[in-house]
Chain A
Amino acid sequence: MSGYMKMVMLGESPSGHLQGQDSLQGQNGPGRGQGGSWQGKNTRQRRKDVHPVSGNRFYVKLAWTGIRNNRRFYLPYILTCSAMVAIYYIISFLTTNPLFDQMIGGTIMRGLLILGCGVICVFSVIFLFYTNSFLIKRRKKEFGLYNILGMGKRSLSWILCWESLIIAVLSMTAGLVLGLLFSKLAELAMTNILLLESNYAFYVSPEAIVDTAKTFALIFLLLLGNMLYQVWKSNPMELLHSEQTGEKPPKVNWLFALAGIVILAGAYYLAVSIKDPAAALLLFFVAVIMVIVATYLLFISGSVALCRLLQKNKWYYYKANHFVSVSSMGYRMKRNGASLASICILCTMVLVMLMSTGCLYMGMEGSLRERYARNIMFDISAKDLGVSDSEYAEGLRGVVEKSAKDRGETVKNVLDYSFVDFGGYVMGDEVYLDSKEIRFQANTWQMFVFSLEDYNRLAGADETLGADEALCHVSKTHYDYDTVTLGNEAQLKTWNIKKQVGKFVDVGADASQIMPSMFLVVADVEEALAPWLYDMVEEGGQEMLRHWIYGVDIPCGDEKQKAIFNDMLENIGAMNERVMNEDGGLPFVTYVSECVAMERGSFYEIYGGLFFLGIMLGLVFILAAVLMMYYKQLSEGYEDQARFEIMQKVGMTARQIKKSINSQVLTVFFLPLLVAVLHLAFAFPLVYKMLLLLGFSNQNLLVLVTVGCVLVFALFYILVYNVTSRAYYKIVSPASSSGRSSR
């Protein structure tokens, strides 16, 4: 019982619950402050006698005052937890959205969102552990004091439990309220990005709430477990002095620093040197891991090594401007290297994510056009090379035009060409038609063979070719040879490449595939491919088919286009039936019809979904980066306070101190951003190649979007700098009021 007495006396600031008493006694005149608190204690005592549970109440009170008195640390923490809860709820809410049941790519989108939920969950665990460890460090002294004054570890654990419970309840409530408020907004944003119809009804998803509550209850439980472990394993003296253990000068690990440089150089080289997009996909992950490792090594060891090198240069080091900054930077980097590296990587991730998903989304119309050269496309493949000139083709052209005309529209931009396509195994300047001998080194390419006539028409050119001459165009990669040899074991044939030409037509098959394509233009397709054209199938080889591509634009809205397209399909169906009846078969092997208006939806669903997820995850990462910076600045501030006081006593002017603080804070703060931008610059070619695979090839747009992302992000970063550095200066410079007046 006396234990409780003591507790109240030492309680950080029992004023919270005593204020009421104070005001009650307000009329009693002088000495009421003391009388009040004394009275308060008595009341407390009495209450305890009446209610045996007041022990618990006492812990609650201690926990609550603990949080209140440290609100500078706890408030941002609770806000972060709330934000995490809110974002998790929103995404979880979106996955339960019934809209996905109706839309075509709904399952893909839902899958993406569930993935996003997982990412946020894992991230929350890591991140909340980080911030929590910071809080524990700051509270240890207080706990040490309680411990020495006779409060057992069991009691401390109770306080911690109550604290966690309070924080969990506060942040979950706030988070869920925020989540509910913003869920509709997020839904509208998503439907807008995905071009979906949405109603304006507001609804709550109980499943999502339960899911969120469960997930975060588990996370908070984990955090509590960690805190309890920390308290149990330490002794009171350690707790009391945990904040001021003498710091050893940073040891330079030259090996790590060097390894960091080598690995980073390697990663950058990889990123820049990759030519083949398909390889880019695989190597991207290798490069990402290398960059992450190198960033940590460089921030932790490299920075300290650099400071040490500068210190060794006596001429540089013993200068008023460098002396203090260089030596404290070493310590600063030793302490913060890991968190700065984390911030840097987070920044890079945000930037890469925003840039790539943003590009895909904004470049979607372009990609759509590349994939579908015209609004309505027909792709008819046949064994007969003359399919484009056949009666059937004539009939189809007629049906298409008539269907449009029946609805009062005319077809425009008619695209009409044909080619022969097949797969090729490319080794150097040789293209094999089969892979009988397993050629490991061979790359699989898509081959398109065009006639010169089609080429001249499509490209608006007037080329002439001899029988052994060809024009060549290669997409997604490059081909540096003067000749190309085509064939199988039975026969090889070589053409001289008269000219490498630019892209002359958007072929959907090329845009939708990951592998590179080679477009060969020859004088006479049938003659050129004669050796393999007909007998390949019998030998178990691939079929060489002629594709006739027919596409038209119809200048009207998506809905009307869909209607016209449906008419066409109906009419073509009727025609096919007639042909079947007359000829006993159809003159084609496959028949594909596509309408952009119909495909657009699924394009938007996938790219828009990615973009949406990119924004959401970007937000989470930015939030994390901001909070890390905030806590870092705070903890640094407290550590630097004493240091700057000494410097002032030793004769550093307020201005010198300010300058030194500024240069250090700026370096620490903007180093991650600068390195992130550098990473991004080197990642650029890799990202571009990966986007190529996804059918995006507008490099200018990518540059624009990248620069835009960096600018927006930097702006945001500077904003955060202003806020957090103010907190820092507030801590560091209360003593140097002269510092302010001298300005």
Chain B
Amino acid sequence: MNLLEVNHVKKVYTTRFGGNKVEALKSVTFSVEEGESIAIMGESGSGKTTLLNILAALDKPTGGNVLLDGQDLAKIKESAVANFRRDHLGFVFQEFNLLDTFSLEDNIYLPLVLAGKSHAQMKARLDPIAEQLGIKSLLKKYPYEVSGGQKQRAAVARALITNPRLVLADEPTGALDSRATDELLKLFGAINKAGQTILMVTHSVKAASHAGRVLFIKDGEVYHQIYRGDASYEQMYQKISETLTVLTTGGERA
């Protein structure tokens, strides 16, 4: 069984006074297998963020459904949805979204504390993750004291600490310089290799070139997809660039 199944998801926004309707997603269908790493690409306004919000159960689709481990996200009760998100999904954001009132350690603990875990349990989980992400020495620092790359690594640690079924990343390299980007992508590769499923939404060809599969969204539909196969990062980069060129120069659907 697939880990995630997205079936004909449609999302229509209605403007406030009910006048105009905007179709953000027309009909998106794809599935994700356990252990995959997927990048979703598309221009601004193509519906990437809407899709991610629906996958994160932050928003509900107008039509179609999303199944995570066979469970329909739209059917989770309103009161349980936050808990579901916390227990099954990990998030990495472009702006890190660390709370500046917490040290990095406490930021990473946050989902576990909310889940009611004891301090000893939390520490046992944090130690190997902090080791892997290389932030062990930074744990006592506050967000304003560390660099963007370090913040993002802390955010990744926060996403991983609940052992989520799926990590959703929204432009994770968007606010990083090129060195930090490289490091983070390498890290994602390693985490993925260890079995973690990752779904990333990105603009960056470089970030996408590290994924196992790249989906292109245009006009609210999955327009195209590329599998890595045995291709190297460079070859993948090349393929993605070509696809994007076709996409933007407006070639009709092949």
Contacts and interface: CB of A to CB of B under 8 A. Distances in A.
Contact of A318 (B82, B91, B109): B109
Contact of A314 (B101, B103, B117, B119): B119
Nearest to A331: B101
Nearest to B102: A327
Interface in B95-144: 97-103, 106, 109-111, 113-119, 122, 142-144
Contact of A320 (B78, B101, B113): B113
Contacts of A654: 82
B158 interface: yes
Given A247-B144, A320-B114, A649-B93, A738 B101 contact: no
Nearest to B107: A650
Interface in B63-115: 78-79, 82-83, 85-86, 91, 93, 97-103, 106, 109-111, 113-115
Nearest to A646: B97
Nearest to A320: B114
A247 B79 contact: no
Contact of B82 (A315, A331, A643, A652): A652
Contact of B116 (A314, A320, A648): A320
Contact of A742 (B79, B85, B118, B158): B79
A652 B114 contact: yes
A328 B91 contact: no
Contact of B113 (A319, A330, A646): A319
Nearest to B88: A651
Contacts, number: 77
A318 B78 contact: no
A742 B102 contact: no
Given A318-B109, A651-B83, A742-B78, A247 B100 contact: yes
A655 interface: yes
Most chain B beta carbons < 10 A, residue from A652, A654, A738: A652
Contacts of B116: 319-320
A741 B99 CA distance: 26
Contacts of B82: 648, 651-654, 656
A653 B91 contact: no
B78 A650 contact: no
Contacts of A319: 113, 116
A248 B142 contact: yes
Contacts of B158: 650
A52 interface: no
Contact of B144 (A248, A328, A650, A656): A248
A722 B83 CA distance: 31
Contact of A323 (B78, B100, B113): B113
Contacts of A3: none
A318 B118 contact: yes
A665 to B, nearest CB: 16
Contact of B78 (A327, A652, A738): A738
A247 B98 CA distance: 13
B116 to A, nearest CB: 6
B208 to A, nearest CB: 23
Nearest to B89: A651
Interface in B190-219: none
Interface string B141-156: 0111000000000000
Interface in A305-328: 314-315, 318-320, 323, 327-328
Contacts of B115: 320
A318 B100 contact: no
Contacts of B143: 246
Given A651-B86, A651-B114, A315 B119 contact: yes
A509 interface: no
B97 to A, nearest CB: 5
A465 interface: no
A652 B144 CA distance: 23
Contacts of A458: none
Nearest to B116: A320
A360 B52 CA distance: 70
Given A652-B82, A653-B79, A643 B110 contact: no
Given A319-B113, A650-B111, 16 more contacts: A246-B144, A249-B103, A318-B109, A318-B118, A319-B116, A320-B116, A323-B109, A327-B99, A643-B101, A647-B99, A649-B93, A651-B86, A651-B110, A651-B111, A653-B83, A655-B79
24 contacts: A246-B143, A246-B144, A247-B101, A248-B142, A248-B144, A249-B142, A314-B119, A319-B113, A320-B115, A320-B116, A327-B102, A330-B101, A331-B101, A643-B99, A643-B100, A646-B99, A648-B82, A650-B86, A650-B97, A650-B111, A651-B83, A651-B86, A653-B82, A653-B83
